[in-house]
Chain A
Amino acid sequence: MRIGPEQLFPIVLGVADGTCTSLVLASQKMLAGTFDLWQALRIGILSSAAGFLPLWVAEYASLRNELARMARQLNQPSVRPLLRSDLGLSALHSAWFTAGLATLSSFLGACLPLGAAVLYPRQIYLPLLMANLVLMLVGIGLGRWVEGRRWVWALGLMAIGNALALLGLKVGIS
């Protein structure tokens, strides 16, 4: 499958989710300056893999619902003939592809702040700065895509990221 404009949603969702989850899970360790590569890998993999199956289920359910509506419009007695058709197979492939793309994007989104924390453990605010940079770029991209106010989107996402970092700091999971 090729990456087109319709794949923007899983990419944006994945990057923003990966960045925010890594902040929730790791902000306390990041600020303490005691963060190693193994912890970064565990958090990166955990934050991205956790979303894979729920996203696959959500995507497949949405596509299957679309096929069910199609079957009703075509006066078919059930959705089964469409599920057995190429459209059913395409829905299945598309759900795997979307969930995989979101998971990969989530891992990459988590990599930047976590990588900064591993490489420069003494620069305790660098991971937060990196996360803000990622969220700002995602926000600007989204604002451009929806033809909205780019900086409002960027600042909104950055505010969410910082709020989650604060939450992670208070809760102290890692």
Chain B
Amino acid sequence: MRIRRLVLDVDKAFARPSLLDIARAIEPVAGVEGFNISVEEVDQETVGTLINVEGDNIDVSALLAAIEKCGAAVHGIEEIVVGERMVEYRHRAGK
């Protein structure tokens, strides 16, 4: 399966790992060409982030393992784009 984009819901503890630690973990994963890590919410002890990863033939299991290994917790995959072309999300008609 040729995975082109993944949007991940990732939580981390407030102090560690830092966003740079997570970035360092993601960068060498096979198939990753670029990514964005955005802080979505800050709780008392945790930070919720959304990680947008783009590339060609992204190794999902290696990506998830790399994020978990640096000490962050992957809560779910929010979006996945697969195939020859990038297909953007479209709102349902009438919404």
Give the B-binding residues of A (Cβ under 8 A). Answer: 69-70, 73-76, 81-82, 84-87, 90
- Beyond known contacts A74-B12, A86-B21: 14 more, CB 8 A cutoff: A69-B45, A70-B13, A70-B71, A73-B13, A74-B46, A74-B73, A75-B73, A85-B69, A86-B69, A86-B70, A86-B71, A87-B17, A87-B70, A87-B71
Known: A86-B17, A87-B16, A87-B17. A73 touches B46 (CB 8 A): yes
Known: A73-B45, A74-B46. A81 touches B13 (CB 8 A): no
What are the 6 A-B residue pairs with the smallest beta carbon separation, nearest first? Answer: A87-B71, A74-B73, A70-B13, A85-B71, A73-B45, A73-B46
Range of interface residues on B (Cβ < 8 Å):
10 to 19
Q: Describe A's contact surface by its main secondary structure.
A: helix
* Complex: A48 Cα to B45 Cα, angstroms: 37
- Cβ–Cβ contact B46 & A81, under 8 A: no
Residues of A within 8 A of B43 (CB): 73
* Complex: A73 Cα to B47 Cα, angstroms: 10
* Complex: A70 Cα to B16 Cα, angstroms: 9
Q: Is B68 an interface residue (CB 8 A)?
A: yes
- What are 7 A-to-B residue pairs whose CB atoms are below 8 Å? A69-B45, A75-B73, A85-B69, A86-B69, A86-B70, A87-B71, A90-B16
